[in-house]
Amino acid sequence: MVTKKVVIWGASGHSRVVADILRLRSDYEIAGFLDDVNSQAQGRPFCGSRILGGREELSKLVESGVRWLIFGFGACGPRLRLASVVRHHGLMLLTATHPNAVIASDVAIGEGTVIAAGAVINTGARLGDNVIVNTGASVDHDCTIGDAAHICPGVHLAGGVRVDASSWVGIGTAVTAGVTIGPGAIIGAGSLVIDDIPPNVVAFGSPATVRRSVREDDREIAG
C-alpha cells in the first residue's frame, strides 16, 4: 500500500487529535508539524514527530515529496484564509475521518475537513472545505456546513440547519431545525439557538441572543 505523506499545520491540542485520527489509518505517514505561532519551536519533538518550522517550510516540503496537508487548529478564519496558501504551494488538503464516526452514504465532505470520534452526520448533509465536526457532535439530515466552520464537541444540529463559512458553534450547543447561522458568527458554549443568527456577531444563552459584534480578540480564539 502506498502511504500519503502529510504535514499537519498546527501544534496544539487539536493537532494531536488530528494526528491520532491519521495514525488510525495505515495509508498516512505524518511528516511533521508546522507552527506559525512559536518561531522558537522549530526542531522540537511533538506528538511522536517534530515541528518543522512555519509556513516558510511549505516549498521545502513539496520538494521533499510531501503532497498533503491538513490543518490542526480550531480557529475558523485562518483555516478559511490559509487554504489558498496551501494550494498555491502545490499541496493538497487532506480529509480525515475518525473510524468511530457515523456518516451516511450520501454525505458530501469537502477537502481538508476533519470529522472526530463519535460524530454523527446524517443523510443529505453537505460539509464544505476545512470544516471541523468535533468529538461527539451530530449534524442531522440536510444540514449545510460552510467552509472552515467549526462544530465544537457535543454540538447537536437538527435537520436543515445552515452554518455559514467560518462560523464557530460552541461546545454543547443545540440548534433547532431550519436555523441559519451567518458567516463569521460565534455561538457561545451551551447555547440553545432557535432563531437565525446574523453574520459576524457573538450570540449565546438559552435562547441564544446577539450580544455584540465579533471583535479582534474573539478571532484569536474562534476565528
Residues annotated catalytic, as ranges = 141
Q: Give yes or no for a contact between 118 and 100, defined as CB atoms under 8 angstroms apart.
A: yes
Closest CA to 150 of 132, 138, 137: 132
H helices of 11-153, in order, are 13-23, 58-63, 76-88
Task: Specify the 3-state DSSP secondary structure of 50.
Answer: strand
Strands 201-205 and 208-213: antiparallel
Q: Give yes or no for a contact between 93 and 129, defined as CB atoms under 8 angstroms apart.
A: yes
Which positions ≥6 away from 205 have C-beta within 8 Å?
Answer: 188, 191, 192
